[in-house]
Amino acid sequence: MLNSRLILLIVILSAFALWFNLEQNTEDDTLSSSSLQSTDYSWQLFNSTTWQLNKTSQQSTIIQSDTLFFDDAAKTSDFTHPRVTLVDEQQTLFIESQQGQTSNNDLFELSGQVSLIQFDQTLSQLNKATQNKTLTTEYITYNSKTEKISSDQAVVITQPSSNLVGTGLEIDLKTDHFQLLSNVQGEYRPIKAE
């Protein structure tokens, strides 16, 4: 009787040990499949904010993103939901999109529900009531060296007293000059004096 109880206890303990071992292996497999996988990227950031300050011209660039993958060999960065803030002495420009990529940290390509919102004030003086222009499109390129933005997609520009639509766009941020390239249509709404 004692012998059969001992054998039954050993069988139960063995079954428990086997079950426990299988559970551990299942948890390890789940953990490894949800962990970061090895990539060709040099580094990865999640929920990041990056600043670039230019002391001589008092310009700054702030880039926030949900994910950022940088490849040092190719000098490219891939962003998910990038939010770029460009600030100089005269204006603040917010650019947001679903995806983004940079080449050599100079050329930004932004795609998917791209919006640009311009304010004629610096970030520290920002007042939402002074919003100047809002631009929406599906794709833009921004060259940080030349400070130019371009697109070959449909564009909508909304200002306090007008709406413009067209295809293709060129913006020179230094001169605050913008040009719609084709299929341009506009609507002007005079602002009523109070």
From residue 90, alpha-carbon distances to 26, 59, 102, 145 in Å are: 58, 10, 25, 18
Q: What is the pLDDT of residue 133?
A: 82
User: 101-151, pLDDT tens digit by residue?
Assistant: 988 878 889 999 999 988 877 766 666 556 678 999 999 999 988 889 999
Distance, CA of 28 to CA of 37 (rounded, Å): 14
Report the distance separating Cα 150 and Cα 140, nearest Å.
Answer: 6
Q: Which residues of the chain have pLDDT under 70?
A: 1-11, 13-41, 54-57, 123-131, 193-194
> 113 is written with which tokens?
């529900």
- Provide CB contacts within 8 A for 56, sequence distance 6+: none
Nearest to 132 by CA among 153, 161, 110: 161
Domain boundaries, the chain: 1-35, 43-188
Q: What is the pLDDT of residue 16?
A: 62
CATH number, span 43-188:
2.60.450.10
Q: What is the pLDDT at residue 66? A: 92
Query: What does the pLDDT read at residue 33?
Result: 44
